Each structure stands twice: as C-alpha cells, then as structure tokens.
Structure 1
Amino acid sequence: MGAAWDDAVEAFAEHLRHERNLSEHSVRGYRTDLSQLAEHAQALGVEGPADLTTRALRSWLANQQTLGRARATIARRATSARTFTAWCVRTGRASSDPGALLASPKARRELPAVLSESEVRALLDTTAESVADDGPVGLRDLLVLELLYATGVRVGELCGLDVDDVDPGRRLVRVLGKGRKERSVPYGVPAAHALDAWLTTGRPALATSDSGPALLLGLRGGRLDPRTARKVVHDRLAAVDGAPDLGPHGLRHTAATHLLEGGADLRSVQEVLGHASLGTTQIYTHVSNERLRAAYRLAHPRA
C-alpha cells in the first residue's frame, strides 16, 4: 500500500483494537479487506482514502464478483469498506463518505452443518477410548471436544481460558467473548470428568514455566493454539464413520441445535452462545426445522 493508505489502515486497526475492543481475528479480517481495497483503488489512481469514490468502491466489489468470491464474502467486504470510510470522515481523513452510498449483495444464510447425537456420542467415546494410548494429549483432546460441545464456545474463547476461569463446584466456565464481553456458560457431568482428569493428570505432564495460567496446553507447554484445536476436531472426527468433516464451529452449531431440539428457549441459547442479536441465534431454529422435515420425508408414507 502507498503511505496514505498504509497510515489510514494502521490507524483504523488501532481504533478497532482499542476503542471497539475487537478480537485480533476480526482486526486481521478488516485489514485484509482494506489492503485489497487499497490495492484496487491505487490501480484506479486513487492515492489515498481522501480521494476514494463510490464508483471506485463499486468497481472493487464488482471485481470481487468477477473473481468468484462468495456473496457472503462480498457482503462482508462491503461492510468493511463502509465502516472504514465512515471512520475516515469522523477522523478528518476524508471530507465525504463514499461508503454511505454503497450497496452490497445480501448474503445467503446458509444452514450450518451439524452432527447427529449418535455422531457426537461416537466422537467422544472413540476419543475417550484412545486416552490410554495417547496419554496427556489424549486427555487434552477429550477435554477440547467435551467443552466445545458442552458449552458451544468459539475456539478462540476456548483456547483463551485460564484455569481460574473454570468453577468446578458450580460447573460453570467464564468466557471472554467478542467485544470483550464476559459470560458464564454451564457444562455437564461428562465435561466435568474430562476436566478433572486433565487437571489431575494431563496438564501437570505438559506444563512448563511458559504455561502460565492457561487451561489448555500445547505439546511444548504453551497455551493451546486455536489452529491446533481445529486440527484436533478434524482429526478426531475423521475416526467417526459417516460423520461430516466439521471444525470447532461445527461443534458450536451442533451444541446450539441440540439445545433447541431438547427444549431450550431461544433466549437461553443466545446467552450460552454469546450472540449480541437474537436474530443470529434464530438460524438454529431453521436447522431444527430442516432436520424435522428431512426426517418426515424419510419416514412418512405420504410425504
């Protein structure tokens, strides 16, 4: 990027990080989007945010469509651009807001893939059976899976947990979510057993001077990296016959769907997941309905 773009994007990233309290993952996403916008704009002769026009923004989004980007990706990048241009006006980096006139395609709300209860049971049972061979890593992997399914937390939230964030007496885990909002999420007896085994036997075997207060540890004793946690989920699910290849977010979707199918109300599920909007949680009611319709079509003679 040119100097004007580079300075503006870096300052915007600091704003997102310190004033809006966005996670590093979210900040990185904004920076990626805006770096691509800057590259396209400079190719059109736009040297900095002050010279940006709605036409240039539309050209960038049209180029994304030509490259075959998904509607959801284009919609997200349009949002990044609008947020950035509005900030530029507020901070005096631009005199007008070209993003205010920018429309974006409405992202299709895809129904998330979820595991069936039998697939979850098989996943957790096969992982538990391998603990004797896998040692401390097996105990950690079992706890990763149990907590992801029991609580529906995001993988970044899981890896960010400290030992003191867990209250074994009340079976609650304190989670720091998006926007640094804190919530308490309950977990069940199987996850409690996995936690006890990890803290008693697994964690002490991996802990080093670099472990600090981290609940989950990697092989070298540092805090478990989200990429490693994702690999754990993919690898362990691969051992379950017929199960779809899902990551940690798939277990989050599964937990939410099973809660609703078990009779939990939407507001409670919203609290568990840490959604700011109830509308975000409502997609899981569609998942439940789709599963019901699929079962009906298979089972009813006049479906």
Structure 2
Amino acid sequence: MTAATTSAGPDVERTVTGYLDHLTVERGLAANTIASYRRDLRRYAEFLAAGGVRGLGEVGESDVAAFLTALRSGDEDHPPLSATSAARAVVAVRGLHRFALLDGLVTDDVAAEVRPPAPARRLPKAIPVADIEALLSAAGSVEGPRGLRDRALLELLYGTGARISEAVGLAVDDLDLGSAAVRLAGKGGKERVVPVGSYAVKAVEDYLVRARPALAAASPRGGRSGGALFLNTRGGPLSRQSAWSILRSAAERAGISAELSPHTLRHSFATHLLDGGADVRVVQELLGHASVTTTQVYTLVTVERLREVYATSHPRALR
C-alpha cells in the first residue's frame, strides 16, 4: 500500500469486497441480497471514483448525501431510482461504512447521518359514490335476515366512517335512531358521537325490526344473545372476519373489481365528505383522529381527483 493510499484510507473497491465477503460468510445473507448489495456498492464505488475519491478515508458525509441525490435524479447511464430502491442502496452504503469503522479501517462513520429516503405515502383508497351504491344494493340482495343485516352493516360503516372494530363492537344501546346518532368507542377507549345518515338509519331500523330477532333466536341461550347490535347466524356477536366476508361477497355480486376492505368504506366516507365541501376538522372529529394531520391525507385524494377531472375535461389541459 502506498503512502498516498494510507493517508486516504483503505481502497474503496477492496473494502467493498471485504464487506461482501463478511455478509456472505459471517452474516450468511441470501445470494439475491448479496447480488443487490454488490450492484449498489459497485455503483457507489464508481460514483466516488468519478469524483476523484479512491480511499474510503477521503469520503465525507456530503459525498454520501450526493450519492443519494444521484440515485434519485439518475444520469445518462442510470434511470432515476424510486424511493424504495434508493433506500436499499443507501442501506448498503451505510453498512459498508459501519463495517469499515468496526474493522478499524476508518475513524469515522460518515454515512451514519444520511437517512434513506422515505417511501412515497400511499394515499387511502376510496371508491366512487356509484360503486358505493352498487355495493350497498348488492349487500341487501341476499334473501332473509342476513341480507337486512349485511345492508345495515355496510350502510353504517359508510354512513359513519366507523372502523370495523367499532361497528362490530356496537351494542344496541349505542344507537339513538330517534336523534340519528351512534356512540362509537375508538382507539384507546375514546368515545365519540357520530351522526347517522337517513339511509343508514332506515337500514338499521329494518334490520332491528325484521332481522335481528330471528338471528338472536338462533342463539343456544334461547334468544338471549346479549346486547350486540350485529349478530351472526348462530345468534352470537358478528366477528371482524365475518364482516370482511360480507363486504367481499357484496363486492363480488356488485361486480366491483377494485380491492376492498372495511377500511375502504371509511376512506370513502372521508373523501366524499371533503369532496362535498366538509371542513377537514369536522371530518377529523367524525373519524376520531387525534391529530388533524392524520385527516389531511384525505385532502390529497381530493386534489388528485380534481387533477384527473381537469386533465380529462378542461380544454386547455391537453398537451
């Protein structure tokens, strides 16, 4: 090793080879993982070499940060990487510098403060009002008490924005249909009172009068099913899993191909309210969010929808 190399620290490519050997032999990482690390670290070594850096001791935090920027922006030879792919590469680089520090090859871990990029926030999925109507109609198409129960459950989920755990945990006494309101027990035991729309009120009334007594009678306890609002066909409280099944079956009958979950109805409730002009803080209270910043993610859905409508409808949006 020359004096120049000694002052600059260990050769980058040689350190990369030693690190990959360490991951293979001592850590026993999978071959695919090693291949990904090798590809990312080769690009890192090339990036440093292009900047005149040969020894690991010459690398500063700004070099590592610049590499991350290059990953995201791309160049003539490399397309821009997604946040997830760039994060994987940064993890490999951080591991390399940590390895060099622990092995005594360098005196500082210059990559320790360079954070991988956060993946893009996934927007909540909402479905159009027309799909909601088709879903609710399909839920009620089942003959007998089950159809009335299924329609009431989905009407209440969409009409109040309740979480599935809140809905299946409801007692009959939590409803005040006279004033069109329901008391929901949210996370951490926090209760909130939410108004219930007329369609949901009608569906729940029909269920209570025409279906719940028959379901309760199927209980081994002779109709003494407790105070649970939604019952299964054996007269016991409806489970979360059964509620999922009800939604999936209704979606299939309605011909809705989008992937749905009970939370989809909650997201749709919030999005449609904001589309209708509701204040975000009102929606926050209805959803039981502790912070308005949690609720504001729904405004992104509305902005995206507005962009789509503008792009497809406005005569000056064409490119």
What are the ranges of 5 or more consecutive residues in structure 2 without an aligned counterpart? 1-28, 34-82, 88-112
Counterpart check, 1:127 vs 2:136: no
Distance 1:110 1:232 in 2: 26
Q: How does 1:161-172 map to 2 (within 5 A)?
A: 161-172=170-181
Instruction: Compute the displacement of 1:245 (Å).
Output: 2.2
Aligned pair in 2 of structure 1 residues 104, 160: CA closer, same or farther (>3 Å)?
farther
Q: Which shows bigger deviation, 116-125 or 167-176?
A: 116-125
Letter in 2 for 1:154: R
Distance 2:190 2:267 in 1: 20
Instruction: Compute the displacement of 1:243 (Å).
Output: 4.7
Aligned pair in 2 of structure 1 residues 158, 286: CA closer, same or farther (>3 Å)?
same
Partner secondary structure for residue 174 of structure 1: strand
Counterpart check, 1:149 vs 2:161: no
> Does the CA-based 8 Å contact 2:138-2:251 persist in structure 1?
no
Q: How does 1:130-209 map to 2 (within 5 A)?
A: 130-131=141-142, 134-207=143-216, 208=219, 209=221
Aligned pair in 2 of structure 1 residues 170, 279: CA closer, same or farther (>3 Å)?
same
Alignment-derived partner of residue 32 in structure 1 = none
> Does the CA-based 8 Å contact 2:123-2:300 persist in structure 1?
yes
Alignment-derived partner of residue 112 in structure 1 = 124
Partner secondary structure for residue 265 of structure 2: helix
Aligned pair in 2 of structure 1 residues 105, 276: CA closer, same or farther (>3 Å)?
farther
Counterpart check, 1:278 vs 2:316: no
1:263 to 277, 289, 310: 277
Instruction: Compute the displacement of 1:287 (Å).
Output: 0.2
Distance 1:301 1:167 in 2: 49
Instruction: Compute the displacement of 1:239 (Å).
Output: 2.1
Instruction: Compute the displacement of 1:126 (Å).
Output: 2.9
Partner secondary structure for residue 239 of structure 1: helix
Distance 2:135 2:227 in 1: 28
> Does the CA-based 8 Å contact 2:137-2:151 persist in structure 1?
no
Partner secondary structure for residue 192 of structure 2: strand
Partner secondary structure for residue 184 of structure 1: strand
Aligned pair in 2 of structure 1 residues 255, 205: CA closer, same or farther (>3 Å)?
same
Counterpart check, 1:238 vs 2:252: yes
Letter in 2 for 1:234: R
Computed over aligned residues only, the root mean square deviation of the Cα atoms, in angstroms, reads 2.9
Higher helix fraction (1 or 2): 1
Letter in 1 for 2:182: V
Distance 1:218 1:104 in 2: 47
TM-score, L = length of structure 2: 0.61
> Does the CA-based 8 Å contact 1:154-1:252 persist in structure 2?
yes
Distance 1:272 1:170 in 2: 16
Partner secondary structure for residue 254 of structure 1: helix
Distance 1:230 1:188 in 2: 22
Which runs of 4 or more aligned residues in structure 1 lie more than 6 Å from their structure 2 counterparts after TM superposition? none
Partner secondary structure for residue 175 of structure 1: strand
Instruction: Compute the displacement of 1:107 (Å).
Output: 5.1
Instruction: Compute the displacement of 1:105 (Å).
Output: 6.5
Distance 1:230 1:190 in 2: 21
Distance 1:261 1:245 in 2: 22
Distance 1:202 1:212 in 2: 16
Instruction: Compute the displacement of 1:127 (Å).
Output: 2.8
Larger radius of gyration: 2
Partner secondary structure for residue 134 of structure 2: helix
Matched residue pairs, number?
210
> Does the CA-based 8 Å contact 1:115-1:243 persist in structure 2?
no
What are the ranges of 5 or more consecutive residues in structure 1 without an aligned counterpart? 1-61, 75-100
1:292 to 271, 296, 306: 306
Distance 2:256 2:311 in 1: 21
Instruction: Compute the displacement of 1:106 (Å).
Output: 3.6
Aligned pair in 2 of structure 1 residues 137, 117: CA closer, same or farther (>3 Å)?
same
